[in-house]
Amino acid sequence: MKFKGVADIGIIGGTGSDIELENAENVKIYTPYGRTSDFIQVGIFKGKRVAFLPRHGTGHTIPPHKLNFRANIWAIKELGVKYLISPSAVGSLKLEHDKRKFMLVDQYIDRTKKRMDTFYEGGQVCHISQADPFCGYLNTLFYENGKEMGIDIQKGGVYICIEGPRFSTRAESKMFRQWGGDVIGMTIYPEVVLAVEKEICYCTIAMVTDLDVWAGNCPNCGIVEYGEKCEKCGDPVEKLAVSIEEILETMAKNEGNLKRLLETVIPRIDTERDCRCFHSLDGAII
């Protein structure tokens, strides 16, 4: 089959983002960068042509530091996708971002180490802008609809992307808070950069599943920054830590809200409009 134009909207995600497509077909795309995380399911959703790729493969078998980001984004572009939605589980770095909150992040700080993060490795040199990495149109659309639906959702925030698969130390978590991070995760980088290099609109729906490890529990004051004693009352503080069980439990509770949000917003995406994201390479290639 010819792939170009098969889909206008793409989703790279996992639990809660696997919406049911009509006339669905599993497509295998061969890329110059190797295999994608899985087959890409393409079909129709509420009148829109949609492609869905499970980021970590069927059964969540690929760890974040082993994801073939370039193959995934190259294949998504090959399908003709213009708008890419990336739901992502994250930890909170601020007390006001409680579990089950949604955030449309607009900035990131890259703390990864070993990931191939460009399609331009020679022949052509590309200095892609990342001043505003995420699509403002998609962020606004999801935010406004989420608010109308009564979902705890925030527009804007800083995503700290770490290499993984390990979680942070308490010292690292506190440092990321001092840097101004709002949430922490392992997946959006270099996914966002590669999407921009392919002139695709990219949006991350960050879903808070835990409080990372900066937090502790004071019997008097509640959640505080961890230390041997509470800075507010002086009582001992109980250590809190991230667990897979906690993350999966919160994701399961959030699944319904994520599906409702996708079901509401996807039909409202104007796939015929022009966007600054479609012109990302203008002036970027030498």
The residue annotated as part of the active site, out of 38, 106, 110, 212, is: 212
Order across the sheet with 215-218: list the strands. Answer: 222-225, 215-218, 238-239
235-258 burial, b at 16+ Cβ within 10 Å, e below that, comes to eebeebebeeebbeebbeebbebb
How many angstroms separate the Cα of 52 from the Cα of each of 38, 73, 83, 85, 176? 10, 12, 12, 10, 32
Token pair, residue 126, equals 């590309």
- At residue 163, the 3 state secondary structure works out as coil
Specify whether 8 is catalytic. no
- Measured between alpha carbons, how far is 246 from 249 in angstroms, rounded to an integer? 5
210 is catalytic: yes
Q: Cα dihedral angle (74, 279, 184, 61), rounded to 10 degrees?
A: -10
- Which residues on neighbouring strands pair with residue 233, listed in sequence order? none
Catalytic residue (choose from 210, 235, 274, 282): 210
Residues noted as catalytic: 210, 212
